[in-house]
Amino acid sequence: MSARQAIRLLVGALFCSLLPLCAQEARGTILGRVTDPTNAVIIGAKVDAINTNTGVHTAGATNESGDFLLPFLIPGPYDLTVEAPGFKKFIRSGIDVRVNERITIDVAMQIGQAAETVQVVAEMPLLDSSTASMGQVIDSRTILDLPLKDSMVLIMATWSPGVQFLPQRSGYIRPFDTSSPSQISVDGTRTGSNEFMLDGAPNMQRTEVAYSPPPGVVDEFKIQTATFDASYGFMGGAALNMSLKSGANNLHGQTYYFQQNPLVNANRFFLNRIGAEKINFRLHRWGGNSSGPLSLPKLYEGRNRTFWMYGYEGIWSFDPTPFVVEAVPSPAQRRGDFSQLLAISPQYQLYDPHSIRPAPNGRYSRQPLPNNIIPPSLINPVSRKIVDLWDLPNQAGTIDGVNNYTKGKDAQDDYYNQVVGQFESSRATISATLQT
């Protein structure tokens, strides 16, 4: 076996092994009925849909009812061609197939020669009559061109009517914290009742989204707020499905860098109102993505057949988050002196645990410690060493010593997100015939 044959065999085996990974639920469908000028159905008409980005064909034929079905179409622009003996060729261009969309296109053929063509351009169905589900699709151009908070595509679900984003914390929503971006309420349903999918496959971690891809590799994002299809019965809320890019005949790429630095940022409104300084929060986010046909010179040409995509994103953040501890022992309390608490209220009285004695009516009594001071003989030597490990109070706190300690917590996060070598191999022609 030559080196060229070995490489071809390896590439073919790799693509065949990756084919089952392509989820079908995220793909679209074109269906309809073909009729003649008298509205009679045409049986055996050849139907072909070509993805104008990849050149991949999906072919089928009408059945005895004149119906055709072209399933499993990768989201993208398509041209539909219908041919039948004795009729002019029908071509319809500019059909945008989106995530899990079923487009009904009924074709009325005209009598004539096969060399003649009837071409319909830029005419889209106004209503999807094949399903009662409701939703909205956010395309890749919208994702890339419009401001996107913290690189989270899921936040765009709020563009659909009836959708509210209810994060557990305001401010920075990190893509690796799956809890906050999952807090979406749809049409009054509780958060945590939505179904998240990636290319039609479950993308769930309990009731939260498991993985958030970089925005540059997301081809489309669809939120279905009314899921009447039985395939979406897993959760009671909405179905949120992200479809990743699968490559095209033309090479595409993108690089980006985003920085957040207190030197150039304005102070927060409420911090500025009380005269507090800006939070020294810093963030660097960078990444890139590329896709195209798999072309190995003199070995393999993947145009119209085989494509690849790769995406990467990195995040480095520094967040000096202050926190307050309820209380740390004061220097007097470390010596066993709690007399300051007794001066506040008698409820802070301490009692000697060794002085428990039987009392009338089956009860027990204990003797209070004089002046609320624990004698040195009652303090365990190990406890005396442990208490020295606590930091000393660094702020006044309340009168009873609560919230008397604060410390700046420097939270530094490093995050690297990759979609590595997602390949998709398609035959030049895929046969799909509707059976009744």
Q: Are 44 and 68 in contact (CB under 8 A)?
A: no
Q: Are 223 and 268 in contact (CB under 8 A)?
A: no
**Strands 163-165 and 184-186: what pairing?**
antiparallel
Please tell me the predicted confidence (pLDDT) of residue 97. 84
Cα 432 to Cα 49, 70, 166, distances in angstroms:
11, 6, 44
Residue 289: inside a domain:
no
pLDDT tens readout for residues 295-329: 888 888 878 778 888 888 888 888 776 666 678 88
SS3 13: helix
Q: Are 57 and 48 in contact (CB under 8 A)?
A: yes
Residue 69: inside a domain:
yes
Residue 420: inside a domain:
no
Q: What is the domain count for the chain? A: 2
Please tell me the predicted confidence (pLDDT) of residue 20. 38
Residue 339: inside a domain:
yes
Cα separation, 152 vs 360, in Å, equals 68
pLDDT band, very low/low/confident/very high, at 47 (cuts 50, 70, 90):
very high
- For residue 143, the 8-state DSSP code is H
- Please list, in sequence order, all residues whose beta carbon lies within 8 angstroms of the beta carbon of residue 127, skipping any fewer than 6 positions away: none
Residue 229: inside a domain:
no
pLDDT band, very low/low/confident/very high, at 126 (cuts 50, 70, 90):
very low
- Please list, in sequence order, all residues whose beta carbon lies within 8 angstroms of the beta carbon of residue 170, skipping any fewer than 6 positions away: none
* Domain stops at, among 80, 115, 130: 130
Span 151-168, mean pLDDT? 77
- For residue 267, the 8-state DSSP code is P
pLDDT tens readout for residues 185-217: 777 777 777 888 887 778 888 888 888 888 888
Span 73-93, mean pLDDT? 87
Say whether pLDDT at 11 is over 50.
no
Q: Are 45 and 90 in contact (CB under 8 A)?
A: no
Residue 225: inside a domain:
no
CATH value at residue 126: 2.60.40.10
**Strands 134-139 and 163-165: what pairing?**
unpaired
Span 366-388, mean pLDDT? 90
Say whether pLDDT at 7 is over 90.
no
Span 45-72, mean pLDDT? 88
Q: Are 110 and 102 in contact (CB under 8 A)?
A: no
Residue 120: inside a domain:
yes
Q: Give 185-228 as a 3 state SS string.
A: EECCCCCCCCEEEECCEECEECCEECCCCCHHHEEEEEEEEECC
Please report which helix (H) or strand (E) contains residue 357, including its range.
strand 357-359
* Domain stops at, among 96, 130, 164: 130
Give Cα 169 to chain centroid, integer Å.
18
Q: Which residue has the higher pLDDT, 82 or 139?
A: 82
Q: Which residue has the higher pLDDT, 425 or 253?
A: 253
Span 352-361, mean pLDDT? 90
pLDDT tens readout for residues 215-259: 888 888 888 776 656 666 666 677 888 888 877 788 888 888 888
Q: Give backbone dihedrals phi and psi of 57, rounded to 5 degrees, phi first.
A: -100, 145
Q: Which residue has the higher pLDDT, 339 or 118?
A: 339
Q: Which of 123-127, 269-273, 308-312 has the highest mean pLDDT?
A: 308-312
Please tell me the predicted confidence (pLDDT) of residue 134. 65
Please tell me the predicted confidence (pLDDT) of residue 350. 92
Residue whose tokens read 């539909």: 80
Q: Residue 355 is part of which domain span?
A: 329-390
Query: Mean pLDDT of all residues in the chain?
Result: 78
pLDDT tens readout for residues 346-356: 899 999 988 99
* Domain stops at, among 130, 162, 183: 130
pLDDT band, very low/low/confident/very high, at 374 (cuts 50, 70, 90):
very high
SS3 145: helix
Span 172-176, mean pLDDT? 73
The residues facing 48 across adjacent strands are 59, 81
Residue 41: inside a domain:
yes
- Please list, in sequence order, all residues whose beta carbon lies within 8 angstroms of the beta carbon of residue 70, skipping any fewer than 6 positions away: 29, 30, 31, 47, 49, 58, 60, 432
